Structure 1
């Protein structure tokens, strides 16, 4: 009888060591603000919804907060998911920081397959939650075309590894989504992909998470997670 077990996605080899001298860098991980699917009760993921009017105001507040935190003379790289809501957020940030954002589709939110853009209730009625123990990385959520946690982790880890190879001594802004942001942070601290089955860094829409590598010990710190103080009354 043929084996019907689906093939296991291999883990990638460890990234090549970076050859660097003195280095100090800060990564600002931004989650896009309020988007149309939030207020319409629709499933997001790769469904390409736009920012709402409130979300556009929040994007301007995120941009202003980053402008205040980043020195005027610092080299800045802005990289963003290519979905509309993140592109619009990155555009506001790029204008404030006088730089043009780069697009990286690997920073997209998890795809919910055929559920994308449907009412949230439709997904809730069919979604199979992951087990408390076992292979959570490859768990099938029961929706045709949906990505596994491993699918998302592998592409976000790869995107983060690439941007860190570029960012040897400057400030980076990463504009992404709530679930994907967890894997940016996990990759930053060097968590192996195979250990990322349960990790989460809960962040709200329009948040800023600050990561910093010091110039002496070269420790990678997580200075803040999901800061939304800059949104003020627009939270």
Structure 2
């Protein structure tokens, strides 16, 4: 065959986005029961660890995700760098065969000097936000505590970083407060609206967030589910 008679090269293989609608799923996990919960201490950036019950619940979270995340899926595990979240993420990473990466932006809200102190100490000094006005910049009366605006800004930045990566499945391990902001950021809720918007996420819960591949609509499929914890011994 002459060079001029060589068949023309065919079109390049389709990219994953061209094969068909791609569903993206973010599995938001709230860390399991930690020592500050049972000791009545302020959490925040206080680096508490999981209780024995929390370790058991983290294992149940991991088993539930192993059951629900498709085998061989393109998946990553990302966690807050606080130990209680890391321990929960490690349990998940073990069953999925993955090493979690850490992102300090997913930490809980900092309560400054109150972190690790008795909850009663904070309650006696805490200044609740006003019903109206600038709730985002409200000073809670505790040295070193983050304003809600600072807190929301860093969590939103962390979520933007997550969503910039093309992954079919992402397991995100956060906290009760920062997890709420993950949900808000996923839905595109303006930061200003988070001055009021809240989502209840119990310890050891799983929240399922999905984006369809055609319209790129995002939904909250499950919010703060703890059904898997019923298997606790």
Q: Is the 8 A contact 1:23 1:169 kept in 2?
A: no
User: Is 1:189 paired with 2:172?
Assistant: no
1:134-176 C-alpha deviation (Å, 9 max, x unpaired): 111111110000001111100000000000011x241000000
Q: How does 1:127-206 map to 2 (within 5 A)?
A: 127-166=126-165, 168-206=166-204
1:61-99 C-alpha deviation (Å, 9 max, x unpaired): 000001111000101110000000000000000011111
Q: Which stretch shifts more, 124-133 or 189-198?
A: 189-198
**Inter-partner Cα distance in structure 2 for 1:170 and 1:233:** 28
User: Is 1:226 paired with 2:227?
Assistant: no
Shift of 1:228: 0.3
SS at match of 2:209: strand
Other-structure match for 2:125: 126
Q: Which runs of 4+ in 1 moved over 4 A?
A: none
Other-structure match for 1:207: 205
**Inter-partner Cα distance in structure 2 for 1:102 and 1:108:** 13
Shift of 1:233: 5.5
Other-structure match for 2:47: 48
Q: How does 1:67-146 map to 2 (within 5 A)?
A: 67-146=66-145
Question: Which structure's CA Rg is the greater one?
Answer: 2
Q: Please, which runs of 5 or more residues in structure 2 have no aligned partner?
A: 1-16
SS at match of 2:84: helix
Q: Is the 8 A contact 2:60 2:232 kept in 1?
A: no
Give the total of aligned pairs. Answer: 215
Shift of 1:203: 0.9
Q: Please, which runs of 5 or more residues in structure 1 have no aligned partner?
A: 1-19
SS at match of 1:209: strand
Shift of 1:217: 1.8
**Inter-partner Cα distance in structure 1 for 2:221 and 2:180:** 15
What TM-score does the superposition give when structure 2 sets the normalisation length? 0.89
